[in-house]
Structure 1
Amino acid sequence: MTPRAAKIRVVLAALLVRANEIVSVDTLIDELWGEEPPRTATTTLQVYVSQLRKLLDEADAEYGRDALVTRAPGYELRLDPAQLDLTVFQELYERGQERMERREYEAASRLQRQALALWRGPLLSDTPHGPLLDGTAVRMTEVRTAALEQRIRADLHLGRQQALIGELQSVVAEFPLREEFFAHLMVALYRSGRQADALQVFARLRRGLVEELGIDPGLELQTLHRQILAGDPELLRPAGHGGTVEVSGADRARGPVPGAGPGTPDGPDAPAAHRSVVELPAADQLFTGREEELGALAALLAAPGGRVVVLGGQVGVGKTALATEAAHRAGERFPGGRVLLRMRPDAHEGREGMDGPAAVARIARLYGAEGALPGDARELRDLLRGLTGGRRLLVVLDSVDRADQVEPLAEALPEARFLVTCRRVPPGLDGRVLLLDVPAPRDARRLLVAARRGAGAPDEAEATEIAELCGQLPLALRAAARAEPCAAARFRGAPGRLAELDAVNPGFLDRLGTAYEDVDSTRQREFRLLGLLPEGPFGAESAAAVLGTDAAGARAAVAELVAAGLVREELPSAGRPAYYRLSEPLRLLAADRLAAHEPADSVRTATGRLCATYEEALREVAGQVDGAHSLEWLARQRPAFVTMVRQAARSGLWEQTVRLTDALTGLLETLAAWDDWESCHRLALDAAHRLGDLPAQARLLRSLGDRAWQRRELPAAGELYERALLAADIASDLLERSRALTGLADLRLDAGAVDGAAALLSPALDAAAQDPRARFEALRVMGLLAVECGRPATAEEHFGQCLSEAVVLGDARLESYARRRLAALRAPAPDCSEVRPGVWRLRPAA
């Protein structure tokens, strides 16, 4: 059964390559439409799944339809593994690999032949590829090539060289850079009495490598060439059940010259230089996304002169996982082997650190060095250079701190490429740098779902919230995935979030804190103080406030923390300076360390400086909230401003609590941020009571009345305006008396009590005196009252005065409102439905 529609084939293929696993809706949407899915993507996918169920039902009336099940956050195709060629192939390949390692060549050849017989051409060749299918096709094609190489190797061990020549000539044409296939062809030709042809194969390969890549064949192939040139009789005898040079990991079955007899490069006396070592951690089954970064790493490693590539980034961002995945995918480009060494000590894993000479010694051992190694560093490097013979290796050095951990290896392995991971680029280390950021939100969700391994994965909304609470940091996401149940509610409480993550994944806090422990006490204190900052990006001015320095000093301090992997830098863009960010887990770590180690007076002082900085920023843009750029910036920053109000109140900074709230009021009203408006004003009102500040109480009560009026909570609005009026009268605050009276007049007019409204407006206008905003509000309600009473000329006069006051204020929002009111009055049917700027009274239909 093969669906005709390409999109349905994509869905089926994605479910098949992940058979008996949940494939998320996000993954399927990505596979179908890439980075630009249509708005109806989820609905369309549901249609495809429904159509696929019908096809499965037609193919198997008894079980077909039930095989495809919906399981949050996606779908699962349940199959007997024996029904899927891909699974059967993998099993046969692994069994053949085991037999090869035991030198049971007949069985190895048979199993690999059976595995290869399952292939009917390139994998998924008739199906469009997205990230999942593309990765699967690349990976399985590599395994297929390994199975072919292993089967040919086994056949050479069994003396079947004559039958292999024709096949190998086709294979080398298909894989013009795979030296192992050329070695097999040369051996097969030589054993068949065709010495000259074998030498021509080498000459053709060497010419191609020199012309295309500027390199010679590897040492093992050159050695084989010399043996054939010399007519070495030992090479004529198949090894039968003799030894082969063993390698490790995914390429264990590969050896340089298969089937050679004793005394030849692949016999038991083979020099260690002919090993092809793969010493990598197992491929991470949870790895997902990062295709752009993997492509960038591959390009950097392949670039001329790119001997050292440095992968940097903050703690927990996934550097090691990305480097490991890149190394697994790079097999064909590094026939000499791929090795990963962990350079940093890890008490949690009981691992000691490694310096440069120790790394040289470790790789020398991997490539066959035995007995006592030279004590002299130069002799040790020379030994390793001889063991590897100038072959192309990829060496991953994980968690490097110093350039001298890399330099001895770089000298010993001149043909190798080095992928170095580090939180900060070590001084003196020359290399091309790729800085790794947290994954995109979609990839973060996928990682969380994958880490659940199908055990009650959260739905998309829940996964999104958990990812946000974890700051999209892979270390935190993997920890959160271990929670039972894996629910956002477990992690919402900021103070206990890190403890919860450490409880479900012991050692999480230790790993998260490694970067903090590695810096000196000055940097530790600076990091702790940054924990006072609200969630989200911050600039040099905010950092300067908490650190008690100027902007230049703050930039220098934060640059050190960026280099240490504790802070991320968001590079400047057009019209926007550089910003910084603490990932959410690290921000919580900073706050936790702040509470434990910083004196309360120091924290309070730093909080006061930070509040002052936020208040100044608010007041700078107070008159520009109608500008699109300013409003967008303010809207993005609103959570940070609200957090600072709460922080000021918690710290007992009563005056700053009031001032910040006053500065924030216009923004909260413009954005209709009802909950924040109320919570900030309640905190500020409590602060004003503690200060005994009656004018502030009047101002805050009146603003809460405005909020209640706009929310149509009219009884509450009336009570708040009355309390505001009382506080204003006691304080002799004419301005707030005017605003409270105007609010009460609005309520009277709402209730149809025009006389009651009129009685309040005259004293409101008198109390406003020369304050343009208070006059604007009183004149606004007077204009609405005139419209309600059928006096359009009077209304026009009042709204004209409103316009004048708005111009004096320089407030484009109020000016626009006055102009709209004047235009409405000149319409055939004047109305007063827009009672305040952006607030309309909805009248019931007649």
Structure 2
Amino acid sequence: MEVSGGAAAHEAGEPVIFCRVLGPIEVEIDGAPTELGGPLPRRLLAALEAGAGAPVSLSALAEAVWDTELTAEVTNAIRVTVHRLRSALGPGERGRLESTPQGYRLALTSEATDHGLFEQWVERGMAELTAADPSGAVRTLESALALWRGRPWAELGELLHVSGLRARMTELREIAMEELQAARLARGDTARAVAALSQSVIEAPYRERRWELLALGLYRSGRQGHALAELRRVRGLLVEELGAEPGPALRTLERRMLAHDPSLLVDSAAVRLDRPPSDEPDPLPPADPRPLTRPLTRLIGRVRELSLLDTALTESRLVTITGPAGVGKTRLAVEQVADRPDARLVRLADIRSAQVIAPTIAAAVGVAHTSGNPLAEVIRVLADRHEVLVLDNCEHLTDPLADVVLPLLARCPGLRILATSRWPLGLDGERVLTLAALPVDGEDGTAVELLFDRVRAHRAGWTPTAHDTDAAVTICTALDGLPLAIELAAARARSFGLADIAAYVQEWLDALGTPARGSLSPHDSLVAAIAWSVDQLSDEERMLLLRLWPFDGGFSWQAAAAVGPADADGAVFAGLAALVDRSVLTADVSSGQVRYRLLETIRRYCRDVDPDRDATLEAHAEWVRCFVAGQAPLLTGPRLGEAVHVLAGELANIRAGIAHDLEHAPVQALRTTGVLRYLWVMAGPVPEGRRLLRRALDACPEAPPADRAAALIGLSVTSSHVGDTDAALSAADTALDLLDDEDPAHDELLLEAHLRRCNALADMEAGERMRAAALAFEAACDRRDPPGSLRATALWGVALVHFQDGDTAAVTETLSRAREIAAGCGFSSGAAISDLQLAWYLLADEQGAEAGARRALELLVRAVTAFEQQPNGSDELGALYAGAFALAVLGVRDTAARLRAAVTDHAEHGGTDPRRYMRFAGPSLEDRVERLLASLPPVASGGAMTWEEMVTLFTGAVGTLSAPS
């Protein structure tokens, strides 16, 4: 139980100040000694502390500190000294020195003083001895006596009031020393008790309790004659010097010894075993100073981390490896110092109280027995050594560890400490190495390598197939690349295939195995490891954490604030910071704006333990609704690019919110999908957006007309982009039927529905019907005052009518005007679509094919540039597809072939048709495009091209063509 003052104050709920008076007065604030100044402030503080929290009058202070009566001069001196003391205590604690009408008082609880703790611990130790818990009594009484450093209230001399306090404390100390030996005898530590008692009877020869215990210890040691001799010696001493016979306890003990009373002989082993079960380990575990050895399993990866750790230990004497549960902190630490004869491992996972830390370290460095102050013994042993202490699993002891680690480093110059913890210790000079999970994909995909290595340990001669590799990637992704989780998954390979494990582990963490015997993990499952992290959180931090699990793909602090507990009282920033510090949440600040993410394993754990899942899911869904409602209006204005980027970053959360609402609030799901009707073709994937729109429409057939019309327009858009023109036309027609042509609130939706009908008919090459639809759209715009984006789109249909009439000049003029209107209102994506359509019309001119192709490439580069700035992935693929054809017309066949292959690959993944605008120009162009592109040389396989590579390939090829020869 022995703790430093700072740790004791923490335990007692006074985490910042601790006052010592059992010896020269000392004050610690946050575990650090405070300089009080000269003798006057020290005497004044001691006098106030002796007041035990009651006000001390000015006259009493004058007598105690200045040894004089109270005068005006002394009164002023008291005030000056009080001011100096308050300054020394600092802004956080100065208020403890209070001014009252009766004088001054020092507001400290008994737990914030060493003599207060001393009295409590002595009382507790004696109660434990009475309750037949001698081991507990030994721990408690040793801790109490360790607080004693010298004469209590030494600064106050022989002041009458203080003399009484001092005498009471001294007597209590004598009792504690005696009852400590009684407890040692009761638990069988006879030799140690006899040695201490032999000295104590010399120091205080008239205290009969000591002689009684000494004789009993000698008797139990088999030295009955010596025991009787000591009893006769004390009788002679008392009679000769005091003229008094020994008390009844000594006389009774002598009679029982002469009668050979068998009850005096206590079976020491039995006494040691009658200690009631406890979760705390023994405070003095067996000493085991053996050097660390490397684990038998092979370390996979971590080459860079070992190098960083080596550098950190060279440059700093205190290094802490942090990271989430199961990331391999202990393994990395042990691997770093394995086989070094000067390294010692101190396992702290099972330590639950501060007072056990120092004894545990003492045992690890070979100090088998301590004299009441194990930390002092450790410092004595390590003072001249060059050693590395590995303090493993420190997260639950970070506060009390400060009172152990800092003195060790200060007084043992050759010592280095390597700690592992879920979060930093927060000590001066600490260097933190944050350990990330193993990468799953790419060149450094060591997570899969680890899984395969551990599976081979269970299946001799096993060789993974391609299906096994796919399953392994799924497993490692679901387990966040955490080495512990991967090893536990591999343990199931004895009974299941990787495909089976992959199927279960994505949902159930208990599908994992258990650590092998001899493993470095202190936990018997991944769930236990995660629970350990969560259990260390405060109630407020845990409440916030349990509100975050529905977020998929991360979240912003604003989102966390929106779903946080209602009574969080603005503490979200602090809560998120604490969760990041404690390695249950990650923070990505690479973009300049922080984004938080829960590891998937922690997400699932929180989901499983959340006491109110429904409320948590509803809070997340409500945030999705509000977030979408705020961003969706920007999709048709100059901030379209920004809105697409923001919404695309939250697609996973939007999906989750819609999925919740489809089950619990279908009209809300319809509204969300409807206002996002254009997002699906801009950010994709288009087929998924189409499915969500259909599900929402099916879920609430009686929803308000405007909500259904918005979703139907979205269904028409997505259907056009996947090539389902019949569905696109049907959805547009149904939306027009729902909307009221006379209701101004429906104007914008009506115009959008007209646009979708025009596009669908153009895709179907429905000549006269398309002409009528385009003219109807233009007339509808003329009757209203539409935004520029819709006015521009109306001209697309008019341009198609001009093309069908063979009026090339009118086509160019109309689309140029559409582009100008779109660009003017910030609809850059619309301006790009105008360029794309004009490019296809130019490419349709077979007579001027080469000139048309060159002009089309200029338009297409401009369109691609605009699509990059104001995203529209589906139409950008259409522009690149047109670019491949134009390059082929100009004879740049290899580049055209590679570009076409890349566009086709991305279109298949996104579920869109990049040829849709080409069909506006008629079947002859479509046939010519297909024949020319089919004749291009085959493309060598070499992996899919990234989006950036594809765009660079196109713009680079056009740039080469445009360069002067």
Give the TM-score, by structure 1 length: 0.58
2:605 aligns to what SS in structure 1?
A: helix
Q: Which runs of 5+ in 2 are unaligned?
A: 1-286, 517-523, 861-873, 879-915, 920-925, 932-965
1:443 counterpart = 2:442: no
Name the structure 2 match of 1:770.
785
User: Could you tell me how far apart the structure 1 residues matched to 2:658 and 2:638 are?
Assistant: 21
Do the aligned partners of 1:802 and 1:818 also contact (CA within 8 Å) in 2?
Answer: yes
Residue 316 of structure 1: aligned partner: 326
How many angstroms apart in 2 are the aligned matches of 1:726 and 1:547? Answer: 43
Contact 1:532 1:546 in 2 (8 A): no
User: SS state of the match for residue 793, structure 1?
Assistant: helix
The verdict on how the C-alpha distance between 1:421 and 1:631 changes in structure 2, with shifts beyond 3 A counting, is same
Aligned partner of residue 340 in structure 1, secondary structure: strand
The one-letter code of the counterpart of 2:572 is A
Q: Distance in 2 between matches of 1:378 and 1:713?
A: 78
User: Is residue 534 of structure 2 the alignment partner of residue 544 of structure 1?
Assistant: no
Does the 8 A contact of 2:697 with 2:711 survive in 1? yes
CA displacement 1:795-835 (0-9 Å, x = unmatched): 23432442244135411111122245456667746799999
Q: 1:725 aligns with which of 736, 751, 773?
A: 736
Partners of 2:325 and 2:804 lie apart in 1 by 65
Tell me the SS of whatever aligns to 1:764: helix
Does 464-473 or 610-619 show the bigger shift? 610-619
Deviation at 1:587, TM superposition (A): 1.5
CA shift for structure 1 position 693: 1.4
Distance apart, 1:311 and its partner CA: 1.0
Which of 571, 574, 577 lines up with 1:556 in the alignment? 574
| Structure-2 change in CA distance of 1:434 and 1:602 (3 Å) | closer
Q: How big is each residue's C-alpha offset from its partner over 1:609-639, in whole Å with a ceiling of 9 and x where there is no partner?
A: 3542354355557646875x87666545433
The answer on 1:613 being equivalent to 2:690 is: no
**Cα offset, 1:360, TM superposition:** 2.9
1:360 alignment partner, SS class = helix
Q: CA offsets per residue over residues 295-331 of structure 1, 9 Å max, x none?
A: 111111112xx22111111222211111111122xx5
CA contact (8 A) 2:800 2:811 kept: yes
The partner residue of 2:528 within 510, 532, 541 is: 510
Change (3 A) 1:764 1:619: closer
* CA–CA separation in structure 2 for the residues paired with 1:646 and 1:756: 38
Once residues 430 and 522 of structure 1 are traced to their aligned partners in structure 2, the CA distance between those partners, rounded to angstroms, is 30
> SS of the counterpart of 2:676?
helix
Query: Partner of 1:783 in structure 2?
Result: 799
Post-superposition Cα deviations, 1:685-737, rounded to whole Å, max 9, x if no partner, equal: 246536x2111212211221222222222333333333323223599645444
Q: 1:625 to 1:638 in 2, by over 3 A?
A: farther
CA distance in 2, matches of 1:459, 1:727: 52
Tell me how far apart the structure 1 counterparts of residues 790 and 511 of structure 2 sit (CA, whole Å): 51
Q: Does the 8 Å CA contact 2:422/2:582 hold for their aligned counterparts?
A: yes
301, 315, 326: which is aligned to 2:336?
326
Matched residues, percent identical? Answer: 21
* Map of 1:390 onto structure 2: 384
1:469 equivalent in alignment to 2:474: no
Query: Cα RMSD between the aligned structures?
Result: 3.7
| 1:787 CA displacement | 0.9
The 1:781–1:740 alpha-carbon spacing in structure 2 relative to 1, beyond 3 Å, is same
Matched, 1:289 2:305: no
Query: Is the contact between residue 403 and residue 429 of structure 1 (CA under 8 Å) also seen in structure 2?
Result: no
* Separation in structure 1 between the aligned mates of residue 612 and residue 329 of structure 2, nearest angstrom: 32
AA aligned to 2:918 is: R
Secondary structure in 2 aligned to 1:561? helix
Counterparts of 1:690-839 in structure 2, within 5 Å, are: 692-728=703-739, 733-768=746-781, 769-772=784-787, 773-822=789-838, 828=848, 838=878, 839=916
Which of residues 587, 597, 608 in structure 2 aligns to 1:581? 597
- Corresponding position: 1:341 with 2:346: yes
- Answer whether contact 1:289 1:443 (CA < 8 A) is retained: yes
- 1:361-396 CA distance string (max 9 Å, x none): 2124xx3x55x43223355235533xxx72322211
Contact 1:735 1:767 in 2 (8 A): no
| Structure 1 residues 327-368: Cα deviation after superposition (integer angstroms, max 9, x where no partner) | 22xx5xx55x2221210228xxxx99983222232124xx3x
SS in 2 for 1:689: coil
The alignment partner of 1:844 has SS state of: helix
TM superposition shift of 1:430: 4.3
Tell me if structure 2 keeps the 8 A contact 1:699–1:736.
yes
Residue 529 of structure 1, CA deviation: 0.2
Q: Secondary structure of 1:496's match?
A: coil
Contact 1:722 1:740 in 2 (8 A): yes
Mapped to 2, the partners of 1:620 and 1:810 lie a distance apart of 11
- Structure 1 gaps of 5+ residues are 1-274
- Pick the aligned partner of 2:372 from 355, 370, 375: 375
Q: 3-state DSSP class of the match of 1:397?
A: strand
Q: Which has the larger radius of gyration?
A: 2
For 1:463-495, what per-residue CA distance to the aligned partner results, in whole angstroms no more than 9, with x for missing partners?
A: 222221112222322222233434356445788
Q: Which residue of 2 aligns with 1:357?
A: 358
Amino acid at match of 1:340: L
The C-alpha deviation readout for 1:34-68, integer Å capped at 9, x for no partner, is: xxxxxxxxxxxxxxxxxxxxxxxxxxxxxxxxxxx
1: CA distance, partners of 2:358 / 2:798: 87
The aligned amino acid for 2:622 is G
Cα 1:293–1:551 change in 2 (3 A) is: farther
Distance 1:602 1:461 in 2: 33
User: TM-score if structure 2 supplies the norm length?
Assistant: 0.51
- Amino acid of the residue matched to residue 363 of structure 1? A
SS at match of 1:589: helix
5 Å matches for 1:649-688? 649-652=662-665, 654-655=667-668, 657-686=669-698
**For residue 54 of structure 1, what is the aligned residue in structure 2?**
none
How many residues were matched structurally?
546
Distance in 2 between the 1:644 and 1:443 partners?
A: 34
Report the alpha carbon displacement of residue 416 of structure 1 after superposing the two structures with TM.
1.9
Conserved? CA contact 1:495–1:588, under 8 Å: no
